[in-house]
């Protein structure tokens, strides 16, 4: 494998991570940093009323 390919691969992975980060900010995941650790322990995952509504 040549070096050019590896560099391209590393940059591509980095860009993918960056885009993922941008998406997470946009979808409001940094607004309640405390919540997930408690919600994880919830038994009633099927309660559809508490799921975030799909953003239109």
Partner 1 sequence: MLRCDHCLLEFPEREAVRDELTGASKVFCCTGCRGVHRLITEEGLEGFYAGRRWDEVGLAADPDRPVDAAAFRESVREVDGLKELDVYIDGIRCASCVWLNERLLAKLPGVRFARVNYATHRARVRWEPGSATLEGVLSRIRSAGYEPKPYTETERQRAQDAETKDLLVRLGTAFFLASQLMIYSAALYAGYFQGIDPGLRRLMEFIALGLTLPVFFYSGAPFLRSSARGLRALRFNMDVLIVLGSGAALAYSVYQMLRGGEVYFDTAAMIITLVLAGRYVEARAKGRASEAVARLGGLLPREARVVAAAGPSPDPGSTSSSHSTPSSTATAVTRMVPLVSVQPGDLVEVVPGERIPLDGVVVSGESEVDEAILTGEARPVAKAAGAEVIGGTMNLHGAFTFRVARTGDATVLSGIIRAVEEAQEHKPRIQALADRVTGAFVPAVLALALATLVFHLARGAPAHEALMTGVAVVVIACPCSLGLATPIAVLLATGAATARGLLVKSADVFENVARATDVVLDKTGTLTRGRPMLREVVLFPPRADGAGAGWSRDEVVALAAAVERRSEHSLGRAIVEASRLLPGPDRAARAFRAVPGRGVSAEVFAPDAGAPDAGAPTLAATGETATDEAGTGFRVAVGNRAFLSELRVLVPEAAVRAASPREAEGDTVVYMAVGGELAALLVVSDMLRDEAKDAVAELRALGLRLAIVSGDGPATTAAVAARAGVERAVADATPVSKERELAHIQGTGARVLMVGDGINDAPALTRASVGVAMGRGTDVTMESADVVLVRDDLRLVPELVRLSRRTHRVIRQNVFWAFFYNVVAIPVAVAGLLHPIVAAAAMAASSFFVVGNSLRIGAGRKPLLRTPWNGRERATAPPSSRDEARGNVAGEDPMPPDGAERPAPCRVSK
Residues making contact with partner 1 (CB under 8 A): 3, 7, 10-11, 14, 17-18, 21-22, 25, 30-35, 38, 42, 47, 49-53, 56
CB of 41 to partner 1, least distance (A): 8
Which of 5/47 has CB closer to partner 1? 47
Please identify, using beta-carbon distances, which residue of 18 and 45 lies nearer to partner 1: 18
Distances (CA, A) of 45 to 9, 22, 51: 38, 27, 9
Residue with tokens 């946009």: 26
Distance CA 56, CA 53 (A): 9
């Amino acid at each position: 494998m040549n070096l050019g390919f590896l560099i391209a691969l590393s940059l591509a992975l980095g860009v993918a991570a960056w885009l993922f980060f941008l998406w997470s900010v946009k979808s409001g995941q940094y607004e309640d940093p405390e919540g997930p650790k408690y919600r994880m322990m919830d038994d009633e995952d099927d309660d559809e009323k508490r799921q975030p509504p799909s953003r239109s």
